[in-house]
Structure 1
Amino acid sequence: MPAPLPKELRDRFARLIDEGLSGREASRRLQVSAATGARWTRKIRQSGAASVAPMGRPPGTGKLAAHNGFFQELVAQDPDITLFELRDALADAEGVTVHHSAIAGLLKRLGFTHKKSRWWPPSADVRR
């Protein structure tokens, strides 16, 4: 995901608008797109600053958001359950198909971790 344009550029844009330039002219001077200039001008007139809007999907939304309790219950019943077993259980119980990595991300957000193998990373004194 791209980073937002710098705050200094937004502040310079706001100063140009305060000096009486149009949004299109200020965006041309600062070499940003006319659409960005129009968007920033609208924000400056509404709230007084062209602040950065939140990027990405809002937390708590998505395909798996409604199934948090389901996964917590399954992991509580069997702590050694695999991601593939969780994926299959979700498909059987709810009819929802997802990639196992999506389930891994959800479990990480819920605070679950995975236990690493006792032999990984291999130490120098172990023969191979």
Structure 2
Amino acid sequence: MGHCYSLDLRMRVAAFVEAGHSCRTAARHFGVSDSCAIKLMQRQRRFGSPAPARQGRPPGGGKLVPYETFLIQAVEAHPAITMPELAARLLDENGIIAAPAMLSRFLCQRGFSYKKIPDGGGVRTRRHSG
């Protein structure tokens, strides 16, 4: 597993190489691997900075986002709908396969909560802001 080197070290390695030293000499001088120094310089040449790229999945995506209106309307029309029923309805009407847990997380992110009722079922309601 690779190391996540600080921006300060990355900048010093890049400056050392730009001062006329080789990447391998810079690697030995700063105690990093040869490939690390070489890749830092490739990144410096390509992007103008040796700063690391953002890690992780880009925000705002997901396969349910285009169906947000459909899902919210379905839950508001039938608050007692279960997630497996909602998943089946999404598949039937839109051809999208979604796990019940994924639907639940999606709705919770949109402000819905699950309220249990005495008969053993439950109802999804929208949280009030305020």
Q: What one-letter code is carried by the residue in structure 1 that aligns with 2:12?
A: R
How many angstroms apart in 2 are the aligned matches of 1:9 and 1:26?
11
Question: Residue 24 and residue 104 in structure 1: after superposition, are their counterparts in 2 closer, same or farther (change >3 A)?
Answer: farther
What number of residue pairs does the alignment pair up?
Answer: 116
Question: Residue 33 and residue 103 in structure 1: after superposition, are their counterparts in 2 closer, same or farther (change >3 A)?
Answer: farther
How many angstroms apart in 1 are the aligned matches of 2:88 and 2:96?
9
Give secondary structure in 2 for the equivalent of 1:70: helix
How many angstroms apart in 2 are the aligned matches of 1:116 and 1:109?
19
How many angstroms apart in 2 are the aligned matches of 1:64 and 1:117?
28
Report if the CA contact (8 A) 2:23-2:34 is conserved.
no
Instruction: Mark the runs of 5 or more structure 2 residues left unpaired by the alignment.
Output: 119-130
Partner of 1:30: 31
Partner of 2:12: 12
The one-character-per-residue Cα deviations of 1:50-90 (angstroms, maximum 9, x if unpaired) are: 22322222223332222111111112212332222221111
Question: Residue 84 and residue 76 in structure 1: after superposition, are their counterparts in 2 closer, same or farther (change >3 A)?
Answer: same
When normalised by structure 1's length, the TM-score is 0.65
Question: Residue 31 and residue 69 in structure 1: after superposition, are their counterparts in 2 closer, same or farther (change >3 A)?
Answer: same
Q: 101-110 or 88-97: which moved more?
A: 101-110
The one-character-per-residue Cα deviations of 1:84-117 (angstroms, maximum 9, x if unpaired) are: 2221111111121122222223223323333367
How many angstroms apart in 1 are the aligned matches of 2:60 and 2:15?
37
Partner of 1:63: 63
Partner of 2:93: 93
Are 1:40 and 2:40 matched, yes or no? yes
Instruction: Mark the runs of 5 or more structure 1 residues left unpaired by the alignment.
Output: 119-128
How many angstroms apart in 1 are the aligned matches of 2:34 and 2:116?
49
Give the ranges of 4+ consecutive aligned residues of structure 1 lying more than 6 Å apart after TM superposition: none
Are 1:115 and 2:124 matched, yes or no? no
Percent identical residues: 30
Give secondary structure in 1 for the equivalent of 2:71: helix
Report if the CA contact (8 A) 1:13-1:30 is conserved.
no
Q: 83-92 or 15-24: which moved more?
A: 15-24
Larger strand proportion, structure 1 or 2? Answer: 2
